[in-house]
Structure 1
């Protein structure tokens, strides 16, 4: 988006550089945000300004109030992480086993 010249931080000019970098690592700017299920909002509006909200314990499935906002994937990502962890615990490291068998 930055290469295409899109202004992904529109309405967030007052936020610091480190907070913008954190937003890029933790989430993405989503169009049609009202149609997304299982996504967490990374922003909130305070005193008429949009600000990033990185609170871990305050994550709730809040409805997006606009179609263009910053969000992070929620439940589906946790499902894949949990499944990968259970496979690792149950079967071990597949890559290690394959390399060990070849050598």
Structure 2
């Protein structure tokens, strides 16, 4: 993809600015207005006017927009929110397959990098629960579950004294508690407000998308690189 250095930097700046604003509102209000993606997406499309190889850039952008239907499907399935889907679509317009690494990237690189980063919250949960156990806390008090299910729950969630942005993963069966490892729709299910309950954190997936895009810029596609496809 041929583009002048100034346009290249402008596209990167627009993408990072959009993600920074979106990430701020996602953490603060857990909601990002669609106007953000529309404004930055239009700005990215307007840059096509200044591209020295407009036809090539148009085809590159259209190819990058393959991510659009995939993002919408994932959104409708409830695996992440509408803001996350629109962010990926806007990125495809603003910075289609842009990287400074020289490594291979695809229309799915930001999303695949974000998926890899999803392991971080799981490790944080495990560390949090391990620390609680070391302190002598009975985090599974009142539960009757197998050891394997408790281990799985320790990666997926934690026992929150005052949950704020988490989905409940426990249920009552008779007089005992059970771990409920069910699917939680990102937009339709309400956060738990019950004190001292096991929850899985409602992670702002947009933060993972930001991380995935940054990795795309400086490193490329982590999965392709691990597979040995570097160029």
Which structure shows the bigger proportion of residues in strand conformation? 1
CA 1:58–1:80 in structure 2 vs 1: closer, same or farther (change >3 Å)?
Answer: closer
After superposition, where does 1:35-46 map in structure 2 within 5 Å? 36=164, 38-46=165-173
Report the RMSD for the aligned CA atoms in angstroms.
Answer: 2.2
- Aligned match for 1:4, one of 132, 135, 138: 135
Q: Which runs of 5+ in 1 are unaligned?
A: 95-103
**1:2-52 deviations in Å (ceiling 9; x for gaps):** 11111111011x10000100111111111122xx1x311111223343211
Q: Which runs of 5+ in 2 are unaligned?
A: 1-131, 221-231
Q: Which residue of 1 aligns with 2:202?
A: 74
After superposition, where does 1:5-20 map in structure 2 within 5 Å? 5-12=136-143, 14-20=144-150
Q: CA deviation at 1:84?
A: 1.3
CA 1:58–1:49 in structure 2 vs 1: closer, same or farther (change >3 Å)?
Answer: farther
Aligned residues: 87
Which structure shows the bigger proportion of residues in helix conformation? 2
After superposition, where does 1:40-55 map in structure 2 within 5 Å? 40-55=167-182
In the alignment, the residues of structure 2 paired with residue 62 and residue 48 of structure 1 have an alpha-carbon distance, to the nearest angstrom, of: 24
Using the size of structure 1 for normalisation, the TM-score is 0.70
Using the size of structure 2 for normalisation, the TM-score is 0.34
